[in-house]
Amino acid sequence: MIHRALNIESNDNSLFVTAQCNNKCVMCCQPPTQCDDIEKYFIQNIELIKSAPKGLKNIGITGGEPTLLGDKLFEYIRIIREYLPDTSIHILSNGRIFKDADYTHKLKDAGGEKLFVGVPLHSDFINDHNHIAGAESAYEETITGLYNLASEEICIELRIVINALNYSRLPQMAKFIFKNLTFVSWVALMGMEHIGYAIKNQSTIWIEPEQYSTQLSDATLYLSQVGIPVSIYNVPLCLLDKRIHKYACQSISDWKTLYLDECDKCSVRSDCCGLFATSHRIFKGIKAL
């Protein structure tokens, strides 16, 4: 993992806190390791936090699975709060640990306001979710975790990485979210990055945005119609139905955004997220609009 200084101009300032994970997601872009790396990263990250510009808007905590740090995660948060009191903290977690209500409460205690947790949902159907997450009880634990986060009034970003195993149920997932997870702050529907496990498992999980265009449109419009804020990450505008352009975000970290030569001719390039420079495969059908 490359360590970059925290930069006030960047849209992506994240602390990488461990490479370990208790899920083994089929499309993971950062395949987990088992080595005990928590202390090593902690020492480096604390320096980063201390030297960070005070006006930093947002700081991410990512991995691996940050909650595997246990109570050490709260130490991170307390230090961030001490040095960067106005910065919002965005934790990316599979949410399973939050099935423990006490742990969730401690997170709220440490983080207070301006705390966001991004949690992935892979499917509305339990077996598909668990299969994609590569863990037996992931679904129940994540959903219980989401309820616990909600009862602590912690903002939740629900993340759906679209792959070949879940794209066909995007509209049903949207309905499931409204009915069962109404409390989420927003839903992010995300294109896949072709890196990590996504390469290894590409024959079963890779899918082109062109192929899921209908389902993505239906899910996005549904969520919007029922009043759940929705965003699309990582899919260039030329691969999206016009009706859902307004939900697309500049989601790709500036340091890994790629535009093709074709994109130079595009009239909406400045509004487009572009492509992952880190991706080993480029989406089909990129064309200037």
Among 83, 103, 125, 206, binds other proteins (CB under 8 A): 125
- The answer to the question of residue 226 lying near other proteins (CB under 8 A) is yes
Binding mask 53-72 for other proteins (x = CB under 8 A): --------------------
- The answer to the question of residue 289 lying near other proteins (CB under 8 A) is no
Span of 29-37, 201-209, 218-226, 254-262 interacting with other proteins by CB under 8 A: 218-226
In b/e form, how buried is each residue of 217-239, taking b as 16+ CB within 10 angstroms?
bbbbbbbbeeebebbbbbbbbbb
Span of 36-44, 89-97, 225-233, 247-255 interacting with other proteins by CB under 8 A: 225-233
Site for other proteins in 181-210 (CB under 8 A): 182
Site for other proteins in 144-163 (CB under 8 A): 144, 147
Span of 11-19, 24-32, 171-179, 274-282 interacting with other proteins by CB under 8 A: 171-179
Among 37, 140, 208, 271, binds other proteins (CB under 8 A): 140
Residue 127 Cβ vs other proteins, minimum distance, rounded to whole Å: 8
Residue 273's CB is within 10 A of a number of other CB atoms, namely 19
Span of 42-50, 58-66, 109-117, 222-230 interacting with other proteins by CB under 8 A: 222-230
**Residue closer to other proteins, measured from CB, 80 or 132:** 132
- Long-range Cβ contacts of 232-235 (<8 Å, 24+ apart): 232/188, 232/189, 232/190, 232/191, 233/188, 233/189, 233/190, 233/191, 233/273, 234/190, 234/191, 234/192, 234/193, 234/273, 234/276, 235/190, 235/191, 235/209, 235/273, 235/283
- The answer to the question of residue 176 lying near other proteins (CB under 8 A) is yes
Residue 186 Cβ vs other proteins, minimum distance, rounded to whole Å: 16
Under a CB-based contact definition with an 8 Å cutoff, are residues 241 and 234 in contact? Answer: no
Residue 72 Cβ vs other proteins, minimum distance, rounded to whole Å: 29
Residue 256 Cβ vs other proteins, minimum distance, rounded to whole Å: 34
Q: Which residues pair with 282 in a beta bridge?
A: none
Among 49, 73, 135, 143, binds other proteins (CB under 8 A): 143
The pair of structure tokens assigned to 10 is: 């960047």
Under a CB-based contact definition with an 8 Å cutoff, are residues 55 and 222 in contact? Answer: no
Among 43, 71, 227, 242, binds other proteins (CB under 8 A): 227
